[in-house]
Amino acid sequence: MKKITLLLVFIGMMTLQSCEVTEINDTMDNDTISEVFEVTTSFNPNNNYSRLVAFNPPIFSSDVVLVYHLYDTVNGEDVWRLMPQTYYFSDGGELDYNFDYTRNNVNIFLSANFSLNTLSSSWTQNQTFRIVIIPANFASTVNKNSIDAVMSALNVNKSEIHKINL
C-alpha cells in the first residue's frame, strides 16, 4: 500500500512540475488610444475670440481633453502651458486662455477683465495649441502639467501629431 501511495505522490509531483507560469508584463499598455492634434489660429471680434475644433469621429464619453498653449520658444525648445492659463499684466489686467469640450468638439477661447479689442496681436494672432485626447483612467496617472510627460506616457512622438488647418 505504501508503494502505491508513493507512486501516486510521485506521479502527482511530476504532473505539477509540467505546469507553466506565465508572468504578466504590466508595463505595456496596449489599449490606451490617444490622439494629439495641433492647431494654429487667430482670435478677433469676428470669431468672438474663440475657435471651435471639431472631432471627427466624436470622442468617447469617457475621454478627457487636455489643451496646451504654445507660450514661447526658448533656445529652440517649445514652452507649452496647460490650459486654462491666466496671464497677468502690469496694469492689473488678466487674460485667460481657456477651453471647453464635448464629444464632438473643443472650443478654445479668450476672456479677460478688460476689452479684448485692446490686446496686442502677439496675444491674439497665430496662436498654436495642442489638443490631447486620452482615456479618463489614464489621465489620473500622468503629470498633465508637462506636455512632454504626457507625450512620453502615451508613447506619441512629434511625427504622430495631426496638424489641423482651420
Cα separations in angstroms, 20 against 13, 14, 15, 16: 14, 13, 11, 9
The model's pTM is 0.77
Distance CA 81, CA 131 (A): 12
pLDDT in tens, 57-83: 899 998 999 999 999 999 999 999 999
- The upper half-sphere exposure of residue 139, i.e. CA atoms within 13 Å in the direction of its Cβ, equals 12
Q: Which residue has the cell 475644433?
A: 53
Q: Can you read off the three cell numbers belonging to residue 28?
A: 505595456
Q: Where are the domains of the chain?
A: 26-164
Instruction: Give the pLDDT of residue 140.
Output: 75
Instruction: Give the pLDDT of residue 38.
Output: 95
pLDDT in tens, 10-63: 565 555 555 454 444 444 444 556 889 999 999 999 999 999 999 988 999 989
Distance CA 69, CA 82 (A): 6
Distance CA 55, CA 127 (A): 20
Cβ(145)–Cβ(94) below 8 Å? no
Angle at 154 between CA 152 and CA 75, to 5 degrees: 30
Cα separations in angstroms, 25 against 28, 78, 152, 162: 6, 34, 19, 30
Q: What DSSP element (H or E) covers 85?
A: strand 85-88
pLDDT in tens, 83-134: 999 999 999 999 999 999 999 999 999 999 999 999 999 999 999 999 999 9
Instruction: Give the pLDDT of residue 159.
Output: 80
